[in-house]
Amino acid sequence: MKTNLIRSIKARSFLGQVFLAIFLAFNAFMAWASYEAVAAFGNIAEAGSKPVVLGLDLGGLESVAAVLAVWLVVGLLTGLLVHMTRAEIPTTNERQGEQR
């Protein structure tokens, strides 16, 4: 017996599968980019080289904010496209009713 997830992926149209692949790849990339941006943000700037507030590099803060903003906007748009192109999976009762 196949799980609903596998049936959902197979039941998608070609465009739905493309949107799902883009959504998953983009989120994986942005998770990596967020990790790198936060790691860069944690570095304490050398004295006098960049503006520093409470020991944190403002350029690092801007890069983290930009990564998270892009992730939010594109993630919502691609997630909406994935949701709109998902297939309706009939329940067990509906399938049995069609076979009668």
pTM: 0.61
Provide long-range contacts, Cβ within 8 A and 24+ apart, for 77-86: 78/19, 78/22, 78/23, 78/26, 79/23, 81/19, 81/23, 82/16, 82/19, 82/20, 82/23, 85/12, 85/13, 85/15, 85/16, 85/19, 85/20, 86/8, 86/12, 86/16
Q: Are 9 and 20 in contact (CB under 8 A)?
A: yes
* Range picked from 4-8, 84-88, 92-96 for highest mean pLDDT: 84-88
Average pLDDT score over residue span 48-67: 66
* Token reading at 75: 């993630």
Q: How far apart are the first and last CA of the chain?
A: 21
Write the pLDDT tens digit of every residue in 1-57. Answer: 566 666 656 677 888 888 889 999 999 999 998 888 777 666 544 444 555 555 556
Task: Give the confidence band of 69 by pLDDT, cuts at 50, 70, 90.
Answer: very high
Give the start-to-end residue ranges of the domains of the chain.
Answer: 4-88
Helices assigned H by DSSP within 12-89: 14-41, 58-84
Q: Which is more confidently placed, 30 or 99? A: 30
